[in-house]
Amino acid sequence: MSGQSLAADLTLTGGDRGVVVVVAVIALAALAVGYVLIREVLAAGQGTLKMQDIARAVQEGAAAYLKRQRNTLLVFGTVVFLLLFLLPADSGGERIGRSLFFLVGAVFSFAIGYLGMWLATQANLRVAAAANEQGGRETATRIAFRTGGAVGMATVGLGLFGAAIVVLVYTGAAPKVLEGFGFGAALIAMFMRVGGGIFTKAADVGADLVGKVEQGIPEDDPRNAATIADNVGDNVGDCAGMAADLFESYAVTLVAALILGSTAFGSKGLLFPLIVPALGVVTAMLGVYITRARAGESGLTTINRSFYISALISAVLCTAAAFIFLPSSFSALTDGTQASTAGNPALIAAVAVIIGIVLAGVILWLTGYYTGTEYKPVKEVGKTSLTGAATVVLSGISVGFESAVYTALVIGAAVYGAFLLSGSVVVALFAIALAGCGLLTTVGVIVAMDTFGPVSDNAQGIAEMSGDVTDEGAKILTELDAVGNTTKAITKGIAIATAVLAATALFGSYQDAIGKALVKAGETFDPTAFLVFSPDVLVGVLIGAAVVFMFSGLAINAVTRAAGAIVFEVRRQFREIPGIMEGTGKPEYGRVVDICTRDSLRELATPGLLAVLAPIAVGFGLGVGPLAGYLGGAIATGTLMAVFLANSGGAWDNAKKLVEDGNHGGKGSEAHAATVIGDTVGDPFKDTAGPAINPLIKVMNLVSVLIAPAIVGWSVGADASTGLRVSIAVVALVLIVVAVVISKRRGTAIADAPAEAANRP
Amino acid sequence: MSGQSLAADLTLTGGDRGVVVVVAVIALAALAVGYVLIREVLAAGQGTLKMQDIARAVQEGAAAYLKRQRNTLLVFGTVVFLLLFLLPADSGGERIGRSLFFLVGAVFSFAIGYLGMWLATQANLRVAAAANEQGGRETATRIAFRTGGAVGMATVGLGLFGAAIVVLVYTGAAPKVLEGFGFGAALIAMFMRVGGGIFTKAADVGADLVGKVEQGIPEDDPRNAATIADNVGDNVGDCAGMAADLFESYAVTLVAALILGSTAFGSKGLLFPLIVPALGVVTAMLGVYITRARAGESGLTTINRSFYISALISAVLCTAAAFIFLPSSFSALTDGTQASTAGNPALIAAVAVIIGIVLAGVILWLTGYYTGTEYKPVKEVGKTSLTGAATVVLSGISVGFESAVYTALVIGAAVYGAFLLSGSVVVALFAIALAGCGLLTTVGVIVAMDTFGPVSDNAQGIAEMSGDVTDEGAKILTELDAVGNTTKAITKGIAIATAVLAATALFGSYQDAIGKALVKAGETFDPTAFLVFSPDVLVGVLIGAAVVFMFSGLAINAVTRAAGAIVFEVRRQFREIPGIMEGTGKPEYGRVVDICTRDSLRELATPGLLAVLAPIAVGFGLGVGPLAGYLGGAIATGTLMAVFLANSGGAWDNAKKLVEDGNHGGKGSEAHAATVIGDTVGDPFKDTAGPAINPLIKVMNLVSVLIAPAIVGWSVGADASTGLRVSIAVVALVLIVVAVVISKRRGTAIADAPAEAANRP
């Protein structure tokens, strides 16, 4: 990277500006298409009055949760905003822009989450109603997929629009401003993932423990006080959290590509990373509209077809765009500053984008294989249910480990492949970021696929609770739900791939920020501070890996703790409200929703603080070398852990479905009980801890990029102050310890619940 | 490290030689003490004839297994020996010495394993017999602890003797020869850990699934055909595997310290790393002899006291030795070549050793806290049994994650602390290695503690099977067994700490080997090839982390597969041999032992090949930079994974014991069933996958150090040959893929077992 510095003085020519404006218009078009899709969803039939009643309760609960979460995040976001404002910046404009777009990123992220949740709660009811009608299978699938399509369009539209505006307004300072934008998006997404994840699984596990295990009543039985909370959870976790998470993936990957693009390719490098996802928007629209279930095929086949078709079109369009917009040699690049690099920019860009698209396809296939009911792994997990819960748990863990390894190797191969495209480190990093952009072209369809899951799950819940559903309708909804489990796992795989690509690419701006700060302090860059085998860097790697384990443990613990509180409350209601079991008394659903809301917002503080403060403690305490090691360790372990948790959870869930479909003894058998245990173990794995690791990596990465200049500035040169540095590290460490101790103090409510065991109804 | 090269032309003065000879004599004295302890153990009473019958069956099974394992390892060892011989070396003497001492290390490792197993099978019977006698608690504890003492003395004696001989004979070439010694020890230990681990847990899980779950008969019931195999497993896994593993930890850490010592401190650096463990031997003797159970205290308290006393004495003696044997400035070091370094060598060495000793104490305390029945974590896991198996599994996983994080942070702090002792990288690395030597001073006592576990477990088995045990005797044995669970977890924590310290230190010789090979090829060392944020290095980190997940998954899968075969066989015997349940027919114990033997030897091939071949594939395929990243990723993730697996398994096992002691409903309750599931999940975690990660890291590290010169030699300069390099990488990769496919093809027998479910007796 020597001799090439990021964020050069870039200017856009009139023609370039025109291209960016076109991109912005395409982004707005995506939003418009999203609006049309929303109208279409809302126009569908709303079923019986009983169904509408239940749906309304879920809608209200979800809205109430997000409102309270918004208030919590406002406080936290304001603090971060102020800290961000205080960090060193090259100019006042950059400082203001960075902080301002931090807010924009945060608001967009929250807005997408809110939209995803709101629309899903509207769609659930309509899917349930459609399934109940004659020949409703196709309509139900379409509504569910259109709902996802609307959220997908909003995700890519807002992401692309935000980035395009930054490029138009800030041009030269765009990279720094984009860091703020990405950070805002990632931070809010992480909180929404963690909070929503805790809510949904606390309600789910709590409802199951009292309902299924103690009372022997089925899932989604209206006599269970936690049943509305369970359905609210699906919306705030799987819809709001997921949508914010994918928006964040989109934004951060785009940010990484734009930052590196400007260095590698001059001002053309600010254009091409916008063009690729813009083309992705176009193909995603196609993908959403061509999704039609053919008679007799599974929902997964339909979705896969739509994915592969749009991926293929994207690949063709992006290759064409590369050769149209980029010259065939570096010396021909407009500003000529990068003339020393050999190779064909157009070819490199095209191949990099294709690598990203292929990566998405391979992950889609791998995840489908490891978590789909029709393949060997889930079938084997299902079979082990005959030798009891222990073998179910062990085989699910093996499936998770194995799939994590192959997914990580595939992602690694993509990074390495993109890296090999150029001998110049900067261009290689840009190629990696472009592979990320290639992946992005599939996000529209991915969101559509993912939303499919919770919407069908919830539709099933509404149908069962209302009792107003036909046998045929129930069968359709069960089938859609099973497809949902796999699509949810696929999304997590794609999301973690974006984390690795973006993080690897962002290391370029990390190094650049350090180099610049050193120049400012009159020092030169010393590569030996970043050697992977240097003991301090290795300790950083170890700490980074440890933080991923800690974060996962905290998230899982938060779920079991919150679930314990739900168990208490549901038992209390069974005991104190007369006639619940007979159906003459009505449970107080709202109280359980309130407890879930309160607990999940309280519980998200510790993992959230850990994510923001750990890199601060390591960076200011040990230095920029160990912090780089820390990020490396967190990325590597985080990737494996995220996929492991997501896929083992997905496999357990579908193994349960296999048994429920009549295999190995069917519902009510011992084998079924064994798979229920596996599924419960998998709940916080796949819906709380696992998916939160993706935004976790991005947050830690962006915090590191943002604080790097300050660490260097306060370490060497005129502003050096060991006292200040160490104080910051100590404060960060103390805050982490306090947060951990507070959450420990809360105890493990689920462990305390047995104290009331004697009072069981 | 620039300007300082490892393995200088060292010569020992007459006085220095004398010191080394004294060390060798101390090592022999340790062996003599071990012999005395063995005599003492063998002299104890052997109980009833029925007990002796059972013990003989276990002895024969264990001996048969190790004999067949020896034959398997002979083939594998010969291949590695030849490959090692072909690798580049500086001189013919170095080449021969390295290969020769590879064999010595391998033979020692196997011998220690064999001794540990043989003595344990003798001691089991005697502990069971002693517990049965009036006031037998103290005698039983003493025999169990003396057995461990004997193995401990043999471990440290052989390790120290081997290293001292290498230093005496090879002096200047000692570092290279020691690499061979360490590699032989680690390789064999890994195979013994994996093979023994698969054997013991396949038998255990298989026995439990048919016996406890299907037939409802207690553990160690003689009607269960797998019961002898289960007890054999405890000896080949927990005793043979563990003893070899700790010998390997001892040898490799010593090797790392000697290699770095010679660079940092000249020839004094070859002395001090021998003196520290020699002092450890002396204090370990004290530790073993002062271990006496006081009336009314738990076994763990006794053991802890003996540990802390000997640790304290070690610290004092080592500090004194540092100031006696080392000068107070680097310029005063005999050969004067390291004069440029600032600091006080004696002080640095003393503090480093103390860091290591303190580290051992902290890990002891941490592990005891997280896995002991008297502390909060295990109590909470026990409580969650009231809400079912899912919460038991989740809470155990949380405990595992949490303890892994704290253990990793403590180890990281020790590495960083030792690193900070000197500004010179070489001296800092030596300080880290010396911290490892400090840890080594506790190995004698640690082995003694660890052996305690399986011996008391087996004694309990023999007592129960024979039926010849008094109630009082049974109670004593149960109590000893619970202590054993914690001591086993502690050993694994200490072992993984040695892996991190040794691996971090060995990175010094890795870099040195690369530097020398580059000089030979006329090139200079380029640090930018090893930057942690370089995409290729990052991909290496990712692959390293992935290999740890893969290895763990393979080991767990091997257990469930082999357990499936046991389930088949035990069911067959119940069905075909008349009168087993009534006690009139006798099961064929030998057949189950044979199946375990065959399967575990077959299953160890894949993880074993992975460990040796993965670094070869990465190194020759991607280069020395990514290989360094690979090691970093493997060390970080390996540390966390190893502790997580060991401690969650330990916590589940003891949570089960808590319930069996009458808490939460006691034996036979639903809570008990839930903890049995947790314990079964934990079995392959804590006894197969977890403990094998320690030798895995060492093997991968030493393979990398050994192949580094070849990678560089064939990459640049006159001998460069991309074809050769790529061919080697491809062959390694193909072999891994073939091994994985073969083991996949074997299917998951446990998943197939249900096909016979209809034939259940």
- Phi first, then psi, for residue A531 (nearest 5°) are -70, 130
Q: From chain A, pick out residues whose CB is under 8 angstroms from the CB of B538.
A: 415, 504, 507, 632, 635-636
* DSSP-assigned states of every residue in A520-533: HTT----GGGGBTT
Rounded to two decimals, the ipTM of the complex is: 0.93
- A533/B528 Cβ within 8 A: no
pLDDT given at position A293: 61
Q: Please name the residues in contact with A404: beta carbons below 8 A apart, sequence gap of 6 or more.
A: A639, A640, A641, A642, A643, A644, A647, B546, B549
Alpha carbons B255 and B273: distance in angstroms, whole number: 9
- B394/A560 Cβ within 8 A: yes
Query: Which is higher by pLDDT, A628 or A423?
Result: A628
pLDDT given at position B538: 94
Alpha carbons A489 and A382: distance in angstroms, whole number: 18
Alpha carbons A350 and A444: distance in angstroms, whole number: 20
Alpha-helical (H) ranges within B661-718 are 670-684, 690-713
Q: From chain A, pick out residues whose CB is under 8 angstroms from the CB of B393.
A: 393, 677, 681
- Strands (DSSP E) found in B600-671: none
Nearest-Cα residue of chain A relative to residue B382: A751
Q: Which residues pair with A531 in a beta bridge?
A: B531
Nearest-Cα residue of chain A relative to residue B748: A380
pLDDT given at position B31: 95
In chain B, pLDDT over 70 holds for what percent of residues?
94
Q: Is the pLDDT of residue B340 over 70?
A: no
Nearest-Cα residue of chain A relative to residue B745: A376
User: In this predicted model, what pLDDT tens digit does every residue of A146-182 receive, in sequence order?
Assistant: 898 899 899 999 999 999 999 898 887 888 888 999 9
Which residue among B205, B412, B553 sits closest to A402, beta carbon to beta carbon? B553
Q: From chain B, pick out residues whose CB is under 8 angstroms from the CB of A636.
A: 538, 541-542, 544-546, 633, 636-637
In chain A, pLDDT over 70 holds for what percent of residues?
94
pLDDT given at position A214: 77
pLDDT given at position A414: 95
Q: pTM higher than 0.90, yes or no?
A: yes
Q: From chain A, pick out residues whose CB is under 8 angstroms from the CB of B640.
A: 545-546, 549, 637
Lowest mean pLDDT among A29-33, B106-110, B301-305, B629-633: B301-305
- A384/B560 Cβ within 8 A: yes
Q: From chain A, pick out residues whose CB is under 8 angstroms from the CB of B564.
A: 387
Alpha carbons B583 and B580: distance in angstroms, whole number: 5
- What is the b/e burial string over B669-704, where b = at least 16 CB atoms within 10 angstroms of the residue's CB? bebbbbbbbbbbbbbbbbbbbbbbbbbbbbbbbbbb
As given in the structure block, the two tokens for residue A130 are 């459609």
Residue type, A474: A
Shortest Cα distance from A248 to chain B (angstroms)? 22
User: In this predicted model, what pLDDT tens digit does every residue of A240-275 receive, in sequence order?
Assistant: 888 888 888 888 888 888 888 887 777 778 889 999
Confidence of residue B176 (pLDDT cuts 50, 70, 90): confident
Alpha carbons B277 and B596: distance in angstroms, whole number: 38
Q: Please name the residues in contact with B27: beta carbons below 8 A apart, sequence gap of 6 or more.
A: B156, B157, B158, B159, B160, B161, B164, B278, B281
Alpha carbons A183 and A506: distance in angstroms, whole number: 12
Q: Is the pLDDT of residue B746 over 90?
A: no
Q: Is the pLDDT of residue A82 over 80?
A: yes
As given in the structure block, the two tokens for residue A399 are 């499936």
- B387/A636 Cβ within 8 A: no
Q: Are B630 and B623 in contact (CB under 8 A)?
A: no
Alpha carbons A148 and B758: distance in angstroms, whole number: 46
User: In this predicted model, what pLDDT tens digit does every residue of A539-553 receive, in sequence order?
Assistant: 999 999 999 999 999
As given in the structure block, the two tokens for residue B304 are 């802890």
pLDDT given at position B48: 86
Q: Is the pLDDT of residue A748 over 70?
A: no
Which residue among A397, A676, A757 sits closest to B386, beta carbon to beta carbon? A757
Q: Is the pLDDT of residue B729 over 90?
A: yes
pLDDT given at position A551: 94
Alpha carbons A467 and B174: distance in angstroms, whole number: 80
Nearest-Cα residue of chain A relative to residue B419: A535
Shortest Cα distance from B539 to chain A (angstroms)? 5
- B637/A398 Cβ within 8 A: no
Tell me the average pLDDT across B6-33: 83
Residue type, B539: V
DSSP class of residue B91?
Answer: S
Residue type, B612: V
DSSP class of residue A423?
Answer: S
Q: Is the pLDDT of residue B292 over 80?
A: no
Residue type, B272: F
Q: Which residues pair with B531 in a beta bridge?
A: A531
Alpha carbons A139 and A43: distance in angstroms, whole number: 12
Q: What is the mean pLDDT of chain B?
A: 86
Alpha carbons A418 and B538: distance in angstroms, whole number: 13
Lowest mean pLDDT among A224-233, A729-738, B217-226, B646-655: B217-226
Q: What is the mean pLDDT of chain A?
A: 86
* DSSP-assigned states of every residue in A123-174: HHHHHHHHHTSTTHHHHHHHHHHHHHHHHHHHHHHHHHHHHHHHHHHHGGGH
Distances (CA, A) of A343 to A315, A415, A501, B560: 21, 19, 22, 52
Q: Are B193 and B244 in contact (CB under 8 A)?
A: yes
Of A577, A601, A603, residue with least CA distance to A589? A577
- Phi first, then psi, for residue B531 (nearest 5°) are -70, 135
Q: From chain B, pick out residues whose CB is under 8 angstroms from the CB of A511.
A: 533
Confidence of residue B24 (pLDDT cuts 50, 70, 90): very high
3-class DSSP assignment, residue B46: coil
Tell me the average pLDDT across B215-230: 84
Q: Are A487 and A653 in contact (CB under 8 A)?
A: no
Chain centroid to CA A753: how far? 32
Alpha carbons B687 and B234: distance in angstroms, whole number: 10
Q: Are A327 and A449 in contact (CB under 8 A)?
A: no
Nearest-Cα residue of chain B relative to residue A568: B387
Alpha carbons A303 and B157: distance in angstroms, whole number: 65
Count of other CB atoms within 10 angstroms of residue B168: 17
* DSSP-assigned states of every residue in B407-433: HHHHHHHHHHHHHHT-SSHHHHHHHHH
Chain centroid to CA B598: how far? 23
Alpha carbons A537 and A629: distance in angstroms, whole number: 5
Test the B interface: residue of A542, A570, A683 with most B CBs within 10 Å: A542
Alpha carbons B346 and B427: distance in angstroms, whole number: 12
User: In this predicted model, what pLDDT tens digit does every residue of A35-50 receive, in sequence order?
Assistant: 999 999 999 888 888 8
Shortest Cα distance from A450 to chain B (angstroms)? 26
Alpha carbons B221 and B203: distance in angstroms, whole number: 14
Residue B117 CB-density burial (10 A; 0-12 exposed, 13-18 middle, 19+ buried): buried
Q: Is the pLDDT of residue B756 over 60?
A: no
Taking only Cα atoms into account, the Rg of chain B, rounded to an integer number of angstroms, comes to 25
pLDDT given at position A4: 41
Q: Are B279 and B318 in contact (CB under 8 A)?
A: yes
SS3 readout for B494-542: HHHHHHHHHHHHHHHHHHHHHHHHHHHCCCCCCHHHHECCCHHHHHHHH
